[in-house]
Structure 1
Amino acid sequence: MASAGQTMAGQETATQGGVVRTVDAWLAEAEAHDQAGRLDAAEQILAQVLEARPTYPPALHQAAILAHKRKRPHEAITRLEQAIAAAPDHPLFHRNICELYRSQGRLDEALAHGRRAVDLAPDDAGANYNLGVIHYDRMEIDEAIVYARRALALEPGMAAAHFELSEALLLDGQFAEGWDEYEWRFDLPNSPSLLPHKDKPLWDGKPMPDRTLLLIGDQGFGDTIQFCRYVSQVAKLCPNLVMACSSEMKPIVMQQAGITRYADRWEHVPAFDAYCPLSGLPRLFGTDLGSIPVPVPYVRADPAKVARWRARLGQLIPNGFAAIGIVWAGRPTHGNDFNRSMTLKLLAPLATLERTALVSLQMGPASAQVADYYGAAPLIHLGAEIADFTDTMAILEILDRVVAVDTSIVHLAGAMGRPVSALLPFAPDWRWLRDRSDSPWYPSVELFRQPAPNAWAAPVAAVAARLAGAA
């Protein structure tokens, strides 16, 4: 949410602790506390100002910003609604409340206020950007592209608008421009630095036969799995290839031909001449819908691990039962987790399948939901028995199919060529494209999409019907 600063005259006085000052002076002090991270002090001042001036719009707006920072979204919305009731033509209030409504899935209200903000302040790049984001969430992708471009016409260096434009273009299959815009991801606010130092150039895609190239696993597990398919192509141009990536990814990434050294800590990275993030390779190779490299499978399970897990699952799964792996939630800290994750209870139609055992591959806090499972199909939760991705790969090799929300498991099973039913939110990540039930990245993955935001019942029912028909 954007701060308004001192947006309206507030020359009337208010008293705090016996001190008489103008209202705006108190608000300035509250904002100073806020910016310094002294939220309790800011909140105390705002509470006293609002007690004296309960309908003063700048105070209500500032209180909304503070409530948002303190993760009290309903209070933030209420404060902004009160501010708008008192000052209905203030564009920043509409701009901020549309983002709050969007975060709560109230997209119709978000759209109305987003449009109002742009009507009131057509030259506000932030308002145009916010409206574009709302259109993306509503799967109005043409409009999302229009408003991202308007934001950039007003503020060409706005990294968030560039990134939003990239996601809309890539979702629409417009890869050429989409990859170029995707490069702005490293300029986003609070984006971590790709390298601890920047004294080497970004690789331009040209051969480097006598020099060393550093590839960097720069994003999450799923992205690393998706883009490591390019490693063998890079190695043909740069035979001295070093990979910097998390230790968890090593069993997967090192299956790609051409890596001469792997480092999971910066201090272990040897000297190199140029670098490239894995997620930058599609742009350098000019990837379009017709040229996505699909060397599937490009990840394989260790045969010894497969044998061990086959014996283990043979003890747990009744004879003659299909084994369906399930994952219903992603990493809670993911920025889009509220949109892509569900609860185990929403997978109830799978629990009615005959001669089927469900095998939970769920990790993290959401795995506790297995305690409340009461379905007819047996549920096997492997939990702590899965030590790392070598175990996960072995299990995926044995299962008949995986049903999962958009997590690294979908990418891993897809990279192995294993059958996957992916459950996607209404506004999915760009890599799943629009209006498709298949994926050009992973031929074995079937896509089941929400027909509306938060509407998981339809895709889950469709997957259950698909599995029942295959039985």
Structure 2
Amino acid sequence: MGNPFPLPPPSASADHGSLCEELRRQGRLEEALRHGRLAVALDPGSLGALYNLGLLLYDRLEIEQAILWERRAVRLAPLSAEPHFELAEALLLSGRLEEGWQEYEWRFRLPNVEPPVPPALLSAGRPEPRMQWDGKPGAGRLLLVADQGFGDVIQFARYIPLAERLRPGLVVACSPEMRPILRQMLDDERLHQEWDGLPEFECWCPLSGLPRLLGTGLATIPAPVPYLRADPDAAARWRKRLDGLLPRGMRRVGLVWAGRPTHGNDHNRSMPLRALAALSRLEQVALVSLQLGPPLAEIGDYFGKAPLVNLGPEIDDFDDTMAILQGLDRLVSVDTAVAHLAGAMGVPVSILLPFAPDWRWLLGRRDTPWYPTATLHRQTIPGRWDEAVQEVAATRSA
């Protein structure tokens, strides 16, 4: 007699794993969980199944379970970058920063991620490549690389003075957009946009690697807010501009409802302008849009009670953004660079977060140790912004 309970074909686990990831991307988390568990049950030794299940559990905010499955994936394939990185994000979100920073170092080994410094530059003119900084003091010049997104650079810029104490005379490689931010930390001549123009350096470090090297834990996050400030003359010009556009006596609330569409998690972190309708009904409030890019077009469909001024087309750089923020009573923003900027300036900011937020916002908190003037408003159901927005509106009307 044949086996009445034949084993599933080898491809069955992979099929369930693929369905798990596809459904996760669609936000169908309950269905995804069923397929993710089946994939692992059918093949407990499948790296993809373990990794995808951990990723899904993060999105479901089942963080301890996500950590468990990503640890299993790491044990199975200790040289695979993806499970290390997802483990890092879950550890950091849960507040276990010290271990999380160690795993976070795997981010530059992810597929299709460029190294922070071109390898040819590290070995140019030397028998041995320039090494990544170990965090120790010394006389040799340190190169810091302003890596990752604009928000990351703004968040981690606070570490530059601390690194400067250990390595005086350090230089920073950054994009042109970040110059208005970083020149508040260093003299302009120490900021470089071209690899070819760098002075000689002994060692290097990504800006996002400084929290690990400096031993940052929840109780030791440096928060010398404000560590960024608007140019006083620019702030005065923008305040005068707003005075001419808005009725007197109204509270000025800035709005940013969408990030860059190229961001990997933009479909979760961004919202349409209409989702902020509760703010448009507030008494004695004037709304000021700092939104950039294609979402600006949504303003054409705005018919709320509160006046809305669109400054987006007039904003050229972060100098303008800082000057505008200086003249607001509060910013309401999704998780974008402008939210980080307001927090770094000490401007009151309400940050609207998706159900499974980025690691830096931790779990369940209304505050954040990174930005003392920020309050966090979280989705309670994936994809649903109404409760979080109503929460912001209630605090503004009180």
Aligned equivalent of 2:3 = none
Contact 1:239 1:258 in 2 (8 A): no
Aligned residue in 2 for 1:422 = 351
**CA distance 1:180–1:261, shift in 2 (3 Å):** same
In the alignment, what sits opposite 2:379? 450
Segments ≥4 residues shifted beyond 3 Å:
86-89, 257-260
Q: In the alignment, is residue 373 of structure 1 matched against residue 285 of structure 2?
A: no
Match of 2:46 in 1: 124
2:137 matched to which residue of 1? 207
Superposed, 1:3-152 pairs within 5 Å as 90-152=12-74
> Which deviates more, 252-261 or 428-437?
252-261
The alignment yields a C-alpha RMSD, in angstroms, of: 1.3
The TM-score normalised by the length of structure 1 is 0.80
2:228 matches 1:306: no
> What's the counterpart of residue 203 of structure 2?
274
Pick aligned residue for 2:84 from 157, 162, 175:
162
1-structure distance, mates of 2:201, 2:367: 39
Q: Which runs of 5+ in 2 are unaligned?
A: 1-7, 124-129
Q: 2:264 aligns with which of 327, 335, 350?
A: 335
Question: How much has 1:283 moved relative to structure 2?
Answer: 0.2
Match of 2:126 in 1: none
Instruction: Tell me how far 1:166 sits from its aligned partner.
Output: 0.3
Listed one character per residue, the Cα deviations across residues 83-115 of structure 1 (whole Å, up to 9, x for unaligned) are xxx979711100101100000000001110000
SS of the residue corresponding to residue 403 of structure 1 reads: strand
Could you say what secondary structure the match of 1:193 adopts?
coil
Partner of 1:253: 182
Partner of 2:127: none
Q: Amino acid of the residue matched to residue 205 of structure 1?
A: G
**Which residue identity lines up with residue 383 of structure 2 in the other structure?**
N
Alpha carbons 1:171, 1:430 under 8 Å: kept: yes
Q: Secondary structure at the match of 1:122?
A: coil
Distance 1:90 1:255, change over 3 A: same
Residue of structure 2 in register with 1:408 after alignment: 337
SS in 1 for 2:131: coil
Query: Is 1:187 the counterpart of 2:85 in the alignment?
Result: no
Task: Report SS of the residue matched to 1:109.
Answer: helix
Residues 198-226 of structure 1: per-residue CA shift (max 9 Å, x gap)? 321000001122x1110000111000000
The separation in 2 between residues aligned to 1:382 and 1:243, in whole angstroms, is: 31
The amino acid of 2:308's aligned partner reads: L
Instruction: Calculate the TM-score normalised by the size of structure 2.
Output: 0.94
Opposite residue 306 of structure 2, the aligned amino acid is A
The aligned counterpart of 1:438 is 367
The Cα of 1:193 is off from its aligned counterpart by 2.1
- Cα distance in 1 for partners of 2:95, 2:329 equals 31
Counterpart-to-counterpart distance in 2, 1:296 and 1:391: 20
Q: Secondary structure of the residue that 1:448 maps to in structure 2? A: strand
Structure with max Cα Rg: 1
The question of whether the paired residues in 2 share the 8 Å contact of 1:89 and 1:120 is answered with no
Q: How many residues align?
A: 383
Structure 2 distance, partners of 1:154, 1:376, is: 57
Deviation at 1:267, TM superposition (A): 1.6
Structure 1 gap ranges (5+): 1-85
Q: Deviations over 1:19-75 (max 9, x none)?
A: xxxxxxxxxxxxxxxxxxxxxxxxxxxxxxxxxxxxxxxxxxxxxxxxxxxxxxxxx
Cα deviation for residue 122 of structure 1 reads 0.3
Distance apart, 1:265 and its partner CA: 1.6
